[in-house]
């Protein structure tokens, strides 16, 4: 017989236990899009304790909708190895590979979970912890609190390294820039994303991936937005490679 209060108890106790276990982690990632999920998987596989926080109900970022809601994405040959690594099916057309956007998101999430990374949805990063000019944690609140405009104080978690994988909004870098006034960019500030130029953008999103402020790494479209590079549209090879590069850079330091 189902007892409703026991269902409630099981959900709350286990969810709170998971959150408490992530108050101190090796790596905290903001954003559950493709680059964040790839970074989470590779970091967790390397032995790091990883927590990923996504402000929306569903993870996957803009990958779900493919191109203009046609549920297909393009990945160039340089990133085919990641499709293979995550078990994502594809077909070759010319020099590029076509995959289902829905399958791609499902397997990115599944691989991240199976690697041991902890994924949390409906949680927003509203501030960061900074100690001695180093980012070492996130300040978190429920996304619904932000949407409703409620004044509810947040909670904080600590991390040895943090990653901004929030895509176009560039949420964490925007907070840090506003709080400390200077990032590791040519201008010292957020340079803003440029108009679509897929070929250039796909190259630069990997080049731009790295430490943008002590303790804070940037990956995916957030990396292009902070450095003033173009956007790329429904071409995701660079996003996947960016997440892998972020994981490799942080793993070396861990």
State which fold the 4-253 domain adopts. Answer: FAD/NAD(P)-binding domain (3.50.50)
Residue ranges per structural domain of the chain = 4-253
The 10s digit of each residue's pLDDT in 147-202 is 999 999 999 999 999 999 999 999 999 999 999 989 999 999 999 999 999 999 99
Question: In this structure, what DSSP letter does residue 165 have?
Answer: -
C-beta separation of 192 from 228 below 8 A: yes
Q: What is the pLDDT of residue 181?
A: 83
- Give me 19's structure tokens: 């959150």
Percent of the chain with pLDDT over 70: 100
What is the structure's pLDDT at 34? 98
Tens digits of per-residue pLDDT, 201-235? Answer: 999 999 999 999 999 999 999 999 999 999 999 99
Strand order in the sheet with 96-100: 72-76, 96-100, 91-93
Length of the chain: 254
pLDDT level of residue 1 (50, 70, 90 thresholds): confident
Element (H, E) at 84: helix 80-85
Say how far apart CA 120 and CA 29 lie, in whole Å: 10
Helix (H, G, I), strand (E, B) or coil at 37: helix
Beta bridge partners of 140: 125, 155
């Amino acid at each position: 017989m189902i007892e409703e209060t026991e269902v409630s108890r099981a959900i709350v106790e286990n969810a709170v236990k998971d959150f408490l276990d992530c108050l101190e982690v090796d790596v905290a990632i903001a954003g559950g899009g493709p680059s964040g999920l790839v970074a989470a998987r590779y970091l967790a596989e390397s032995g790091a304790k990883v927590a990923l926080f996504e402000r929306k109900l569903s993870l996957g970022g803009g990958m779900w909708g493919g191109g203009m809601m046609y549920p297909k994405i393009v990945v160039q040959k340089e990133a085919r190895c990641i499709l293979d690594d995550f078990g994502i099916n594809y077909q070759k057309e010319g020099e590029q590979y076509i995959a289902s956007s829905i399958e791609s998101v499902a397997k990115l999430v599944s691989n991240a979970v199976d690697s041991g990374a902890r994924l949390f949805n409906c949680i927003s990063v509203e501030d960061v912890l900074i100690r001695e000019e180093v980012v070492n944690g996130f300040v978190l609140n429920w996304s619904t609190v932000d949407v409703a405009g409620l004044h509810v104080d947040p909670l904080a978690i600590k991390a040895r390294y943090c990653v901004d994988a929030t895509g176009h909004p560039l949420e964490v870098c925007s907070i840090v820039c506003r709080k400390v006034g200077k990032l590791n960019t040519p201008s010292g500030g957020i340079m803003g994303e440029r108009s679509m130029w897929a070929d250039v953008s796909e190259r630069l999103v990997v080049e731009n991936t790295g430490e943008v402020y002590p303790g804070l790494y940037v990956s995916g479209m957030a990396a292009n937005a902070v450095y003033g590079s173009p956007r790329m549209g429904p071409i995701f090879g660079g996003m996947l490679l960016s997440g892998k590069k972020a994981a490799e850079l942080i793993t070396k330091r861990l």
